[in-house]
Chain A
Amino acid sequence: MLETLGALGTGFEVALKPLNLLWGFIGVTLGTFVGVLPGVGPALTVAMLLPLTVKLDPTGALIMFAGIYYGAMFGGSTTTILLNAPGESASIATALEGNKMAKAGRAGPALATSAIGSFVAGTIATVLLTLLAPLVVDVALRFGPAEYFALMVFAFTTISAVLGASTVRGLTSLFVGLLLGLAGIDSQTGQARFAFGVPELLDGIDVVVLAVGLFAVGEALYVGAYQSRLMETLEKISGSIWMSKEDWRRSWKPWLRGTAFGFPFGSIPAGGAEIPTFLSYATERKLAPHPEEFGKGAIEGVAGPEAANNASATGTLVPLLTLGIPTSATAAILLSAFQNYGLQPGPLLFQSQSDLVWGLIASLYIGNVILLVLNLPLIGIWVKVLAIPKPQLYAGILVFATLGAYSLHQSWVDLLTLYVFGLLGFAMRRWDVPVAPAVIGLILGPLAETQFRRALAISQGDASVFYTQPIAASVFALTAIVLIAPWLARRLRRKR
């Protein structure tokens, strides 16, 4: 415990260095600016801004990234409330009430409860992360390759098969991601696989190209084809942006309950913030003194889900930092940011790069504060960003999107890859195939393969390591349970 506080203290020393503080500020501002753009969710924001950090030292870059991440989350909420355009599934719950509030002339309080709720949830979740991370690290230090492989399979299963509308479409997305992850040079033997003699493919497929292709190019193709001729109404902020006493009274409990839903769902590999935001929404609706207001702009329905969303985003950093396992598309891109610096998040990073890890965690506290003091007063600017007309907006997004891909190898081949992923993203959006499993599969697949082969190399090819080691065996058993339980429940219900 004391040890943790000491490490966190060192972390604050790192994060409060003027230059790092500046990177934090820039990160939050840029993250909000890009996150506010309609159609740009946190994952795409982080992916598009990744090239900006190439020349920074790792600590500064990761601190900037923490800021971008938080800024993008807040920016996304603003868009959701004012434009009724949820950039991602986790914002749908917010859109239900937030946009109704805005339509009723209460955009200010809706944005305020979302911002302050995010601050409260983010801060509490960061405290929990601070306390929890060292404990997980202690356990994880005892993990061998077999345990890691089991955990990764568990993450694959929950992310693709358990959540979402369809098990088989989630799995398809995952396997496409895994296949893409195979391209390049096999790390164990040096043999080229699935590269077709194309030099750009020998490096493997960059997760940023996939994410930007799916999210930016795919989105532009989709919105262009199906939504570009629709009219949209941007709600204005009239009246005070501050919350009344009544608003505060109605908001604080949903914030705390939302945090309680969000953090656990984020920190176990349960794939994103969709479930906790909806649980929070349903709970608030049940507990509200005036449930009839729900559907017409109830502030509880904004406060709870927003807190849950933010707490879950912070929660995903637990498996990412302590185990190196990303459980959301955004976390997958953050992992690739680490990898760009040759860093592999996990228990060892807490020992070898303690300053960096704790500096990053400390900057989460700071990022939350920056977000609060920066964004509510500047809301007028963000609203102007929102008013950019669609043609110029998507044109601008694509100029940035292609820049990131091109700067990888200075080659048009990466632009072609980007377009192919864009077509894939279009098809996945049109026919309801989730994209997050593909992004996570791409980056986690090669790590899983390495652990698998390492485990077998240690055991001299004896596959029993995966079921005789108690931890690995229990994780596999758990995986089987989460895979079979929903199916079994459905079967039983049908029989009755």
Chain B
Amino acid sequence: MRRSPAEIALSLGVLALGAGAAAITSGLSSEGGYSGVGPNFFPALTSAGLVACGAWLLREALGGGWKNRSPDEAQARGEHPFHPAAFAWVSAGLAAQMALIGSAGFIVSGAALFVCVARGFASRRPVRDLAIGVALALAVFLFFVRFLNVNLPAGWLAPLLGSAGI
């Protein structure tokens, strides 16, 4: 079996995560009161566990690959090869929402998310998606704000929603 660079990278990632956690743990107090076990004990255990898992994964990755894994070839999994644009559009949608939700509000950012994700899934009709996205986000907004009293930002649409009595 061929060595997989991704497996090696992920194994090293787990090792690094464990090492990072251990570094942070060393700054925590060991003062344990009656129990003799401080707030640093479980973090130390967890870091050790991650380091051990990372080392074990790396050993598998270097010696014949991780065991019992689904095939790397997309076709063997019944899927198509990695589609970078789809991945990027979904990510972009979420990034747009993060950036917009505070200022533009839930409806605008939700609609932006909707259009981007649909685009990533190969939808060719952005205008229609925008209409659906706005309608969906508006319905969700009204349901949560009016019916459940959950606070969601109205943002740019606040004057509009306000004059409509919402």
Which A residues are within 8 Å of any B CB, using their own CB? 51-52, 54-55, 165-166, 168-169, 171-172, 174-176, 178-179, 182, 186, 188-189, 191, 193-194, 217, 220-221, 223-230, 389-392, 394-396, 398-400, 402-403, 406-407, 410, 412, 415-416, 418-419, 422, 427, 431-432, 445, 449, 452-457, 460-461
CB atoms of B136 and A396 under 8 A apart: yes
On whether the beta carbons of A175 and B46 are closer than 8 Å, the reply is: yes
Find out whether the CB atom of B94 lies under 8 angstroms from the CB atom of A191. Answer: no
Name the contact of B28 in the complex, choosing from A193, A221, A224 (C-beta under 8 A): A193
Determine which residue in A176, A226, A427 has the highest number of CB atoms from chain B within 10 A of its CB, and name it: A226
Q: B152 contacts the other chain (Cβ, under 8 Å)?
A: yes
Q: What residues of chain B lie closer than 8 Å to A457, measured between beta carbons?
A: 33-35
The reply to whether B140 and A399 form a contact with Cβ atoms under 8 Å apart is yes
Q: B157 on the interface (CB 8 Å rule)? A: no
CA distance A317 to B137 in the complex (A): 35
CB-CB under 8 A from A395, the residues of chain B are 93, 113-118, 121, 129, 132-133
Known contacts A225-B87, A449-B42: A461-B114 contact under CB 8 Å: no
Q: A413 to nearest B CB, angstroms?
A: 9
* A456 interface neighbour in B36, B56, B99, B119, Cβ under 8 Å: B36
B80 and A230 form a contact (CB under 8 A) = yes
B38 touches A (CB below 8 Å): yes
Of A220, A394, A415, which contacts B98 at CB under 8 A?
A415
Give chain B's interface secondary structure class: helix
CA distance A72 to B56 in the complex (A): 37
CB distance from A431 to the nearest CB of B (A): 6
Pairs across A and B, CB under 8 Å, 28 listed: A54-B148, A55-B148, A165-B69, A172-B50, A172-B53, A179-B47, A188-B33, A224-B90, A224-B117, A226-B77, A226-B82, A229-B83, A391-B122, A391-B129, A396-B136, A398-B117, A399-B136, A402-B110, A403-B110, A403-B140, A406-B101, A406-B152, A416-B98, A419-B91, A456-B36, A460-B34, A461-B35, A461-B36
Chain B residues whose CB sits within 8 angstroms of the CB of A402 once the complex forms: 94, 97, 110, 113
Q: Mark B18-39, 1 if CB is under 8 A from A, else 0.
A: 1001001000110111111111
Contact yes or no, B83 A224, CB < 8 A:
yes
Q: Are A168 and B56 closer than 8 Å at their CB atoms?
A: yes
Instruction: Given A178-B46, A396-B136, A456-B35, check contact A226 B53 (CB 8 Å).
Output: no
Report Cα–Cα, A418/B113, bound state, in Å. Answer: 14
Q: Please, how many angstroms separate the alpha-carbon atoms of A139 and B118 in the complex?
A: 53
State whether the Cβ of B158 lies closer than 8 Å to any Cβ in chain A. Answer: no
Asked if B163 CB lies within 8 Å of chain A CBs, one says no
Within 8 Å CB of B97, what residues of A?
402, 415
Residues of A within 8 A of B152 (CB): 403, 406-407
- Residues in A with CB closer than 8 Å to B151 are 407, 410
A54 and B69 contact, Cβ closer than 8 Å, known pairs A225-B82, A228-B120: no
Interface residue from B10, B87, B101, B113 paired with A398 (Cβ < 8 Å): B113
Question: Is B74 interfacial (CB 8 A cutoff)?
Answer: yes
Q: Are A188 and B39 in contact (CB under 8 A)?
A: yes
A166 to B59, CA, bound (A): 14
Q: Which of B78, B83, B84, B99 has the most CB of A within 10 A?
A: B83
Which A residues lie within 8 Å of B33 (CB)? 188-189, 457
Cβ A224 vs Cβ B113 within 8 A: no
Q: How far is the CB of A156 from chain B (nearest CB, A)?
A: 10
User: Is the beta-carbon distance between A165 and B121 smaller than 8 angstroms?
Assistant: no
Q: Complex formed: what's the CA distance from A418 to B94 in Å?
A: 9
With a cutoff of 8 Å between Cβ atoms, the chain B residues found around residue A399 in the complex are: 110, 113-114, 133, 136-137, 140
With a cutoff of 8 Å between Cβ atoms, the chain A residues found around residue B89 in the complex are 224
Q: Which residues of B contact A394 (CB under 8 A)?
A: 90, 117-118, 121
